[in-house]
Structure 1
Amino acid sequence: MNEFDLDPQDDSEEEIEYVSKTRMKKEMHALQELAVYLTTLKPEQLARIPLPQDLLNAVQETKNIKKNEALRRHHQYLGRLMRSADHEKIAAAVSGLKEEQNRLARLFHVMERWRDDLIAGDQEVVERFFIEFPHTDRQELRHLVRSAKGAVGTQQASTHARKLFRFVRDAMAGPGEY
């Protein structure tokens, strides 16, 4: 057997996977979308994502581009840079960031629900809050609920609702965390 003969039983040969042009384009567009999403992040969020310096510079440069066509071309450039970066790690970090944002949004909605229930509810709701968060200052909570209920329909309603929300947020955070 000479060097040009291929042995069908030879396992040392790597299997070549055929990738269609459509699939390649979809993957490239997905990488570009990920790179464009990076441009929407705040600097402290961006710092938590492992980006190569050239990609980080290009992402930060995006905010200076105002023209639509220039922005479209820049997004394509970001996609090209993303191809050479470790996009699995970047995608994992972005996914973790999105999970954290979703968790914080759910927590915020729980706090809003408590506030609304306290304003609309009776003494039973206040007692449930005390059971759920026993470290709560009872007198302060009762005062804030009474003020918020009394201000419903007035100009001061939002002010009292915000104060009650802050109190609920602090109570949910636990003692000494704020």
Structure 2
Amino acid sequence: MRKPKPYDYSDPRPPSRSQMKRDSSALQVLGGKLADLPDSALKRLALPQRLDEAIREYKKLTRHEARRRQLQFIGALMRETDTEPLARAVEDMEAGNRTQAREFHEIEAWRAALLLGDESGLEEMLAPVPEQDRAELRSRIRTLARNARTEAEKAKPPRAAKTLFRLLRELRSGVRPLGDDTEAEEGGTPEAAP
């Protein structure tokens, strides 16, 4: 997103109409991104009351033209607000979402490789785990992968695959994944899965 260029007051000329339109459009885009954030994130931003109310009203609207006009109003209100921290907060949240998606895809790739029988990345996954726990984890991962392949062949629900995903996610996040999953490995009812 292009940040609006602040007006340089040392320049004797006023900003051009084109520059004013670009600034207005940039504020509307930022306002739209703010409106797309969940309510919990909006509360953390501590927006001015009028801007907060306008964004909440925008979220209630369903008709295209009404939403467009409300977005213009939000852009106008943002001219009175310091947009630098808001733009930074939106960028940080978008970067966090991209990071989460990248981590999710990485875990999915690990699980897919294990389900295909490729254990070449297993040692990399187990690197942060203390040496004394690696053998047990290696065994659990192999058992879950084998059970997941069996479930897939028999067209059963993917319980072991979901348990394997949770185990890999815990490994990725640095949580010690040595809880008792024997019930899930033996075909019992696992916890809720992703």
Q: Same fold (TM over 0.5)?
A: yes
Q: Which runs of 4+ in 1 moved over 6 A?
A: none
- Aligned positions of 1:14-163 closer than 5 A: 14-131=10-127, 133-134=129-130, 137-156=137-156, 158-163=158-163
Identity rate, percent: 33
TM-score for the superposition, normalised by structure 1:
0.80
**Given the superposition, is the C-alpha separation of residues 17 and 139 from structure 1 closer, same or farther in structure 2, using an over 3 Å criterion?**
farther
Mapped partners of 1:107, 1:123: distance in 2: 19
TM-score for the superposition, normalised by structure 2:
0.74
- State the Cα distance separating 1:124 from its structure 2 match: 4.0
Q: Is the Cα contact below 8 Å between 2:115 and 2:148 reproduced in 1? A: yes
> Structure 2 stretches of 5 or more lacking a match?
1-8, 180-194
Mapped partners of 2:71, 2:119: distance in 1: 56
Mapped partners of 2:157, 2:118: distance in 1: 18
Mapped partners of 1:169, 1:48: distance in 2: 28
Mapped partners of 2:170, 2:46: distance in 1: 33
- State the Cα distance separating 1:39 from its structure 2 match: 1.2
Q: How many residues align?
A: 166
Code of the residue aligned with 1:160 in structure 2: it is A
Larger Rg: 1
Q: Is the Cα contact below 8 Å between 2:28 and 2:74 reproduced in 1? A: yes
> Structure 1 stretches of 5 or more lacking a match?
1-12
Q: Is the Cα contact below 8 Å between 2:125 and 2:171 reproduced in 1? A: no
Between stretches 150-159 and 58-67, larger displacement belongs to: 150-159
